[in-house]
Amino acid sequence: MKELTKAEEEIMQILWKLEKGFVKDILEEIPEPKPAYNTVSTIVRILEKKGFVGYNAFGKSHEYFPLVAEDKYKSFFLKNFMSGYFGGSFEKLVSFFAKDNNLDVKELDQLMRHVKDELKEEDQPDGNNG
């Protein structure tokens, strides 16, 4: 998997939200000032070549849909980001975040409790107790 450009990521965010759509549908979701239709079409085709987007053809029109799940890309992106900026260390990332946001010990403790709760929820089977 490759990291996306800012423009490619913006298009993917829209496709993940829409789940599928034509270029005109994607263009409608882009905030002002909107790029040209051809610009969006070109970016979508680049995403297709990169393996991020598939399509169904309807005559000359193409309805695009994501081939890469949003959570998979998030995981890939965050691992690369952490590796590039924090030597792959989650501890360094949290330390930076805490310093940059002036978090005190109480706020860090609340953050850690929230993370632990999230992890516990992920470990629980859906509606089953074993």
Q: 17: domain CATH number? A: 1.10.10.10
Alpha-carbon distance 81 to 5, whole Å? Answer: 14
Q: Is residue 79 part of a domain?
A: no
Do 51 and 93 fall within a single domain?
Answer: no
Amino acid symbol at 16: W
Distance, CA of 42 to CA of 32 (rounded, Å): 19
What's the domain count of the chain? 2
Q: Domain check: are 62 and 29 in the same one?
A: yes
- Look up residue 65 and give its two tokens: 């849909």
Other C-beta atoms lying within 10 Å of the C-beta of residue 123: 7
Question: What does the pLDDT read at residue 40?
Answer: 97
Q: Tell me, yes or no, whether 17 and 60 share the same domain.
A: yes
121 within a domain of the structure (yes/no): yes
Tens-digit pLDDT profile for residues 64-99:
999 999 999 998 988 888 888 888 887 888 888 888
pTM for this structure?
A: 0.72
Give residue 128's pLDDT.
52
Residue type at position 37 = Y
Q: Exposed/middle/buried for 36, CB within 10 Å: 0-12, 13-18, 19+?
A: exposed
User: Is residue 78 a part of any domain in this protein?
Assistant: no
4 closest CA partner among 38, 47, 34: 47
Mean pLDDT by 10 residues, the chain (130 residues): 92 98 97 96 97 96 97 90 85 82 83 81 62
102 falls within a domain: yes
- Tell me, yes or no, whether 10 and 53 share the same domain: yes
Task: Note whether 21 and 64 are within 8 A (CB).
Answer: yes
What's the DSSP call for residue 55? E
Find the domain containing 106 and state its range. Answer: 89-125
Q: Is residue 84 part of a domain?
A: no
Specify the pLDDT at position 125.
66
